[in-house]
Structure 1
Amino acid sequence: MTKTAWVFPGQGSQAQGMGVDLLDIPSAQDKFAQAETILGWSVTDVCKSDIEQLSRTLYTQPSLYVVETILADLLRERGHKPDLVAGHSLGEYIALYIAGVFEWSAGLHLVKRRAELMDSASGGMMAALMNFDQEQLAKVIAQTPDVVLANDNSPAQVIISGTTEAVQAVMSQVKSKRAIPLKVSGAFHSPLVATAATEFQEILESVTFQPAVVPVLSNVEPLPSVNPEELKQRLIKQMTGSVRWREISLQLPANGIERVVEIGPGNVLTGLIKRTVSNLTLENVRTAAELPS
């Protein structure tokens, strides 16, 4: 039997119109209605609206959680299940839900509050660097205060985060093929969002985590775990910690995974995995049409 991992993308993968094709499916309709009660706004209305509104953290994160969990549940209804799960930043919440660590509405309540706190965490910036000198980057970051490696995505792509001055200083000193400032409200996955992270920790502590039914690879600690307390502690560190996606990619074959299914809009994660490891079968389930019959 082929060992399969399910992976879930995070903020930045959102696309106008995502999830709208799921409205014809009764179980999806129920989830969208429940989400509207919890959020106070309609995910499908936001997904149909202009991309600027959808791309605001406040709306992006809950919308991705709802759409990705619906797609994953529809896959499970069709008899499919993963042997391992992982998610990129926000995507870790969908992975934990699929692993049975918390129930669906508890996860959405967490994501709603996370989105609110991150949306209000202004100041600083993030930037993506492509095809860069790794040694030079590590050296410059070590010598520059107030900037960190926020996302280690693949050997050819990283994201840095910190004060505007510090991020711009690194961008100007490190040779790269491309350096692109990201459209985000704050310096996520850095110590600059520590105040929001502390407030969110109190909320996380109040939620009971169950043992995972499949192992989870966490962003801040890319080793498989089913331990509920360990998974919670990793999630607590996630808002200020680095997303170690390159290491998660390397862990897939190390854990016997042969096939990876990315569930959610876009194909960001399968693209990153392809650049990091070879010989894995990579698939995407972005829409209802891509669900196996």
Structure 2
Amino acid sequence: MTKTAWVFPGQGSQAIGMGVDLLELPGARAKFEAASTLLGWSVLDTIQSPEDKVSNTLYTQPCLYVVESLLVDVLKERGYQPDRVAGHSLGEYVALYAAGVYDFETGLGLVKRRAELMSQASDGMMAALIGFDREELMAKLEDTPDVVLANDNNAGQVVISGTPAAVDAVLAGVKAKRGVKLNVSGAFHSPLMAEAATEFQAVLAPVAFQQAQVPVLSNVDPSPSVEPQVLKDRLAQQMTGSVRWREISLQLPQEGIERVVEVGPGNVLTGLIKRTCKDLELVNVGTLAQLEAVAG
């Protein structure tokens, strides 16, 4: 059988109306309603809001978690199982759910608090760089205080995170095909998130993690693990640590993975992986039509 990894996208993959077509599936509406009860606001109303409410960090992360976990449930009900799982930032929470580390409600509770803390982080800035010299960038980051490599997505695309002055200094000092400041509330995946991370740790600490049913490749450490405490420790480091997606992508073939299924809206992760590992078969499952195509 083809050895398969499921990967889960994070913030930035959301879209107005995502997941609404899944309401045709048995049990989908009940899951949306259960999530809304736990969150205290309507997931379906938020997703369908024409004002793009779903792109507000406070709502983006729980909505993505709900839609992606619903897709996980349907895939498993139809007999599919991954051999490895990984998620990009918020997506790691869905990866842990898919691996059986905690139940749906537990994961959603963690994501709800994470989103609240991150939406309140008003200090700092993030910017994406595309088409650059990696040695030049790393040298500039080394020489510039208060800015770090937040997302190492692939060889030609990264995100930096830090104070506005430090991010501006790197953008001005590194030649890149494109540099874009991101519309986010704070310097995610950087030491500037330390206060939020400390608050989140108090929420995470009492939560019981189970041994993963399949190995998980974590953002801060791409080596696969099934150990509950290891996975929990890695998740605790995630808010201030870098998303090492390029290394996760490179690790997949080392694990014998031949096929990668991006479970969630859009195709961000398959696009990133394609540039890193050209021989992997890439599949997207984010809509009802894509789900039925895989099942067929």
Say yes or no: TM over 0.5.
yes
Aligned to 2:78: 78
1:92-128 CA distances to partner (integer Å, 9 max, x unpaired)?
0000000000011000000000000000011110000
Letter in 2 for 1:245: W
Aligned to 1:260: 260
Are the counterparts in 2 of residues 15 and 51 from structure 1 also a CA contact under 8 Å? no
Deviation at 1:286, TM superposition (A): 1.1
Deviation at 1:26, TM superposition (A): 2.6
1:158-177 CA distances to partner (integer Å, 9 max, x unpaired)?
00000000001000110000
For 1:289 and 1:43, the matched residues in 2 are separated by: 21
**Superposition pairs of residues 1-293 of structure 1, within 5 angstroms:** 1-50=1-50, 52-291=52-291, 292-293=295-296
Identity of aligned residues (%): 68
For 2:93 and 2:110, the matched residues in 1 are separated by: 9
Are the counterparts in 2 of residues 71 and 288 from structure 1 also a CA contact under 8 Å? no
Which 4+ stretches in 1 moved above 3 angstroms?
A: none
**Structure 1 gaps, min length 5:** none
Deviation at 1:151, TM superposition (A): 0.3
For 2:51 and 2:220, the matched residues in 1 are separated by: 30
Deviation at 1:51, TM superposition (A): 5.2
CA RMSD of aligned residues (A): 0.7
Letter in 2 for 1:210: Q
Deviation at 1:72, TM superposition (A): 1.3
1:244-272 CA distances to partner (integer Å, 9 max, x unpaired)?
00000000000000000001011000000
Deviation at 1:132, TM superposition (A): 0.5
For 2:145 and 2:195, the matched residues in 1 are separated by: 19
Q: SS of the residue aligned with 1:26?
A: coil
1:47-78 CA distances to partner (integer Å, 9 max, x unpaired)?
11135311110000000000000011111111
Are the counterparts in 2 of residues 21 and 288 from structure 1 also a CA contact under 8 Å? yes
For 1:155 and 1:181, the matched residues in 2 are separated by: 19
For 2:3 and 2:184, the matched residues in 1 are separated by: 36
Are the counterparts in 2 of residues 121 and 193 from structure 1 also a CA contact under 8 Å? yes
Q: With the length of structure 2 as denominator, give the TM-score of the two structures.
A: 0.98
For 1:251 and 1:28, the matched residues in 2 are separated by: 34
**Structure 2 gaps, min length 5:** none
Q: SS of the residue aligned with 2:170?
A: helix
Are the counterparts in 1 of residues 11 and 60 from structure 2 also a CA contact under 8 Å? yes
For 1:260 and 1:23, the matched residues in 2 are separated by: 25
